Structure 1
């Protein structure tokens, strides 16, 4: 077993809010999360797993935390025994995110959002955070109501997907929704259009749609017999 050695500290040492802790250092925030959210730090059995080291060997850091997300820097042991630090982005709420592909008489309703992270417009389905105390399907229906002002005639589950497992810890639950009316998409920096299912697939093939959730939802909806 490789002996523990001190790891370099992150250049980012942003303070984190962790309830009533007197010491609001990134390290104490990390220890608080280990105590209050143990499932975030589990490792499955077996070889070739990236393990998370624990105090007193070393400690991780909370680089950012707000009501929606938590950014962690974990001290890890790689399968070859090397020690390193890896970033993770987790949802602060236990309810999974949902994403909904609206279908109008077999056509696909898409929204065009300006995304800050990519600094580009992105053709997408609808998505949003889950709300506490209601089912996943009801959360999907709520996205339709909140973002389009419409009600689903039928909701079809399309499974779950990890949008970027390299850094994002949470999965997103995919749904298709049959609707009969289309309102205006609500929110800043949003445009919309309705296209034939085959045209939406062509947009994905030609790179007009690059959003991973939308591409996955189109593929799964086709496999589920929902196209056209």
Structure 2
């Protein structure tokens, strides 16, 4: 990359950063006692960036590893690298993921009228593996939690539900990702569920549905056949709130 292109890239990252600060000022607050202070002064930012670039190059990494700002953005999230002052006074950078939707995504525990729980067999690109999990997805900008939940049920399970019970919020990864996603329980009729996923769901990596009695679902959790964090969180919240059957014996 030429010096001109490098400078242009750095400027674009910082310009996007300032735009994000304007749209989402709550993401740049330094509360009393914060262990990592976000540096907003340009001179401090530059010192932090220079230090991290020096460390990166010494470790065989690209100089751009120290760049400050929105270093990547798409329709779903931004990858943000902040300049920070650590608790020991050292300057450096800290990276975080900021979803495009400020309201967060949603996951839904589908509960059939006969008490069975519905799971999706979903291939996930990130770890290149199949998972049994509940419907879930990113929120669209301007969409609220119930709206996201309803859309994900329609897209992934092929059912239309407007009756949701709110279970609570979950922070998927407080060490990396900003914000929370919202968890719901949806009661659906047994006749609404199709035998096989529709073409749209299959295109998203869903190849099967599984409706299991709650005792079998608990066994799947206990046997570690379910590892999806959203599914386990929704299950824990629903159990704690008395919305699912208690284990017998």
Separation (CA, whole Å) in 2 of partners of 1:227 and 1:139: 23
The structure that is helix-richer by fraction is 2
Q: Which residue of 2 aligns with 1:30?
A: 17
Partner of 1:182: 193
Q: Which residue of 2 aligns with 1:57?
A: 44
Q: 1:153 to 1:75 in 2, by over 3 A?
A: closer
The answer to whether structure 1 residue 210 and structure 2 residue 196 are counterparts is no
Shift of 1:26: 2.2
Pick which of 68-77 and 33-42 moved more.
33-42
Cα deviation for residue 31 of structure 1 reads: 3.0
Deviations 1:188-213 (A, max 9, x none): 22122111222222222222111111
Flag the structure with larger Rg: 2
Q: Is the 8 A contact 1:201 1:218 kept in 2?
A: no
Q: Kindly state the Cα deviation for residue 99 of structure 1 after the two structures are TM-superposed.
A: 0.7
Any gaps of 5 or more consecutive residues in structure 1?
1-12, 17-22
Deviation of the 1:52 alpha carbon: 0.6
Relative to structure 1, is the Cα distance of residues 141 and 28 closer, same or farther in structure 2, using a 3 angstrom cutoff? closer
Give the TM-score, by structure 2 length.
0.75
Q: Check the 8 A contact 2:103/2:144 in 1, yes or no.
A: no
CA distance in 2, matches of 1:152, 1:126: 13
Residue among 84, 102, 106 paired with 1:98: 106
Query: Distance in 1 between the 2:106 and 2:86 partners?
Result: 32
1:140 aligns with 2:157: no
Q: Distance in 1 between matches of 2:150 and 2:144?
A: 10
Cα shift at 1:66: 0.9
Unaligned runs of 5+ in 2: 1-5, 47-67
Q: How many residues are aligned here?
A: 209
Go from structure 1 to structure 2 and tell me whether the alpha carbon gap of 1:138 and 1:203 turns closer, same or farther (over 3 Å shift). Answer: same
Q: 1:73 to 1:135 in 2, by over 3 A?
A: closer
Q: Distance in 2 between matches of 1:51 and 1:133?
A: 30
- The C-alpha deviation readout for 1:31-55, integer Å capped at 9, x for no partner, is 332234322211222x243111122
**Other-structure match for 2:172:** 163
* Partner Cα separation in structure 2 for residue 128 and residue 84 of structure 1: 33
Q: Residue 224 and residue 76 in structure 1: after superposition, are their counterparts in 2 closer, same or farther (change >3 A)? A: same
Deviations 1:59-106 (A, max 9, x none): 522221011110011111222222221110111122321110101122
The list of structure 1 runs, each at least 4 consecutive aligned residues, that deviate by more than 3 angstroms after superposition, is 131-135
1:142: Cα distance to partner?
Answer: 2.4
SS for the counterpart of 2:166 is strand
